[in-house]
Each structure stands twice: as structure tokens, then as C-alpha cells.
Amino acid sequence: MASWSGLDLERSGRRRIIGAMQDVAELKRDSAVGPLKDSYGRAIRDLRVSLTDRCNFRCFYCLPHGEPPIAPKEQMLSYEEIEYVCDIFVQLGIEKIRLTGGEPMMRRDIETIIQKLASLRAQGLQDLALTTNGYYLPDRAVGLKAAGLDRITISLDSLKRDVFKQMTGVDVLDRVLEGIQAAKNAGLQPIKINAVIVRGHNEDEVADFAAFAREHDVKMRFIEFMPLDSGHDWSRADVVSGREIRESINQRFPLMPVDVARGSETSSRYRFADGAPGEIGIIAPVTEAFCGACSRIRLTADGQIRTCLFSTVEYSLRDVIRTGATRGEIIEYIQGVVMKKEPRHYINDASFVAPSRSMSFIGG
């Protein structure tokens, strides 16, 4: 393949994708392709697509030192490229696509790409979701639903204004709460609420979050603090374990496990024993690793495939596309990368090395 400048590759890639999407023969489904499996026999069904590395929040567990270096615009995947790649991934057996960031709603006209991806349901896509900090939802929740978004996950790290500001770097708690209600009104359900629990910051709010789930009938998910901050200041001492979180909730609101097989889900799920609405999920990658059934793969905003959240190696699907690879060659490349997927993460190993890029680049 030729070696071109980034701008030449980007322009050529756009022409290539537009042409390919118009070529009915090339887009015809090949029943012999898929499903994607890694070398451990795990089927890959879940694709996380980061739309941007930009964010309007400055959460200390992600961007403690302000704006990170932003990838040049020509390195970012265009909407045409994202649509084309997702079309291929769905052909390879992907059933769920989640749009992430950074803050994905900072990507202009996000409704456009949602509409395009929603059309992949005809090819087998079953679920199209979005993870957001909620800031833009009051004005755009209805439009997201109309474009074809199925459901939404909203980050909410504190119910206290001062703690929220300290953790996120912005004083917009009321707006995020308004966004949650707007998402509910728009029918973007079930709504999941993510809270990263960090010792010395918000661990005393765990039971209050459970009360919030009961009151608003949402799925509250608690996430252990992970080593994905741009400042690399993560400390194991700051991790509030999944067990501690369960015990804190159970003391106030007795829990019962949701009677379904966990499968490849990241969270352990619980319902309230008294039958109240809402649900609790606990994601504990540090103390209760769940890698054995992992079905996920990630695509960064600048077109790099990541086979694990904690990968130290990335694979440039962008460059493969922009140097004129055929659809068949792209499929072979993706299949080869998936075969390199790690058996598990190595957070608890003495040799663990944190990813060089923070969560804002990787996508949640």
C-alpha cells in the first residue's frame, strides 16, 4: 500500500468510502463471513465506537490536568468511514454498538451518524446506545430518539453539587439531572446511570444513589476506580471495591441478584428485595475481574482498534481503509486483529502497565 500524508489519506479514504457505500455489489452480504471470534473462542458481539476525544467535563479520574492533546481533524474518522466500518462489523456478527467519547455529543450533527447506524438493524444490529455526561440532553434527547437511538447511559458521579463540581470540574449538576429526565421523557430507556466510586470523594453516597434508582426507576451502575486517568495518579488505595459497594447498599436497601445468566455483561446485577423499581449494577474490574466472557472490541475516534480497555497496543484500521483496501481485505484485517485479543486485563499483576491514552481517547 502507498504511504501518503495524513490529509491525502483522509481525502482518499472519504472518496473510497463514499464509492463503496454506493456500490451495491460490494455491500452484498456474504453469509460465509462471521461471526468474529478471538483465539480463546469468545464471540465478539459488542463494538464501542468513540466519536471524539474532546470533552466539556474535566473529571479527575480521566482528565485531571485539563484538555489533553487533541488528534488532528484529518486523523479522525469521518461519519462515512464510521458508517462503512460499522456496516462491516455488523456483517461480522456485531449485535450491539455503543457510541462513546470523550463526550460524543460534542461531535457535530451526531444525530446524522445515529440515523445511519440505525439503518444497520436490517443487517442484524440489535442495539444502538450512547454514553454521555448528560450536559446536552435537555435540548437534544428527543432528536436522538427520533434519529434511531435505542437507549442511553449517563454519567453521574455525585448527587451533591459541591462534590459533583470537585469530581467533574464543572458546576452543572442541575443540568445533568434535567438531562436524565429529558432522556426518560423521550423514551430512551432503559436509562443507565454510571457512577465512578472513589474513596475520599463519593463512597458515602452509594446508598443515596440506590435511593435515586428507586425513586426514578433507573439502572444505577457503580464502577470501581480504574487506572485510566491522563495524569496516571491512580492508586489502589482509592478503589472502593464492589463488595464494599454491595454492603453499603444492602444495609439500607436489601438486594437480591437478578436471576439471569451474566454472560458477557460487565456488571453484576441486583434488584431490590422489597420489589421497588430500579436496578443496581456493580462493575468491579479491579477486584472482581470478568474478562473470561468478554465480547467487546473498541474503535477510537482516530480509527484505532483496541482489543481491550487496557491494551497497550492499537491497530490502525483507519490507515487500512484510507490506503484503498477492499472490503474483503478490511474483513481479513479485523479478523486478524481480533485474534490478538488479550485473555484478560493485567491490573492486578506486578508487571501491569497503564494504557498511554486516557479514557477520553479510548472510549468507555
For residue 361, name the pLDDT band (cuts at 50, 70, 90). low
Distance between CA atoms of residues 255 and 122, nearest Å: 39
Task: Please tell me the predicted confidence (pLDDT) of residue 30.
Answer: 47
342 with 97: CB under 8 angstroms? no
> Beta 304-306 vs 315-316: how paired, if at all?
antiparallel
Domains, the chain:
6-362 (3.20.20.70)
For residue 32, name the pLDDT band (cuts at 50, 70, 90). very low
Distance between CA atoms of residues 86 and 116, nearest Å: 10
149 with 188: CB under 8 angstroms? yes
Q: 245-292: per-residue pLDDT in tens?
A: 999 999 999 999 997 665 556 779 999 999 999 999 999 887 776 666
Query: Average pLDDT, stretch 46-74?
Result: 81
Residue 98: name the closest of 340, 278, 299 by CA. Answer: 299
Distance between CA atoms of residues 299 and 257, nearest Å: 32
Task: Please tell me the predicted confidence (pLDDT) of residue 15.
Answer: 60
Residue 314, amino acid: E
* Radius of gyration for the chain, computed over Cα atoms and rounded to the nearest angstrom: 20
For residue 345, name the pLDDT band (cuts at 50, 70, 90). low
Where b means 16+ CB within 10 Å and e means fewer, 25-61 reads eeeeeeeeebebbbeeebbbbbbbbbbbbbbbbbbbb
270 with 279: CB under 8 angstroms? yes
67 with 56: CB under 8 angstroms? no
Predicted TM-score (pTM) of this structure: 0.86
CA angle 237, 209, 166 (to 5 degrees): 55
Strand, coil or helix: what is 155? Answer: strand
Task: Please tell me the predicted confidence (pLDDT) of residue 272.
Answer: 98
159 with 168: CB under 8 angstroms? no
Give the list of residues 6+ apart from residue 321 with CB closer than 8 angstroms, or none. 13, 16, 17, 81, 84, 85, 303, 330
Please state the length of the chain. 364
Q: How far is CA 243 from the centre of its chain?
A: 24
Q: 204-232: per-residue pLDDT in tens?
A: 999 999 999 999 999 999 999 876 555 55
Residue 144, amino acid: L
Q: 96-121: per-residue pLDDT in tens?
A: 999 998 899 999 899 999 999 999 99
Q: 310-336: per-residue pLDDT in tens?
A: 777 899 999 999 999 999 999 999 999
Give strand pairing partners of 154: 132, 193
Residue 184: name the closest of 148, 128, 145 by CA. Answer: 145
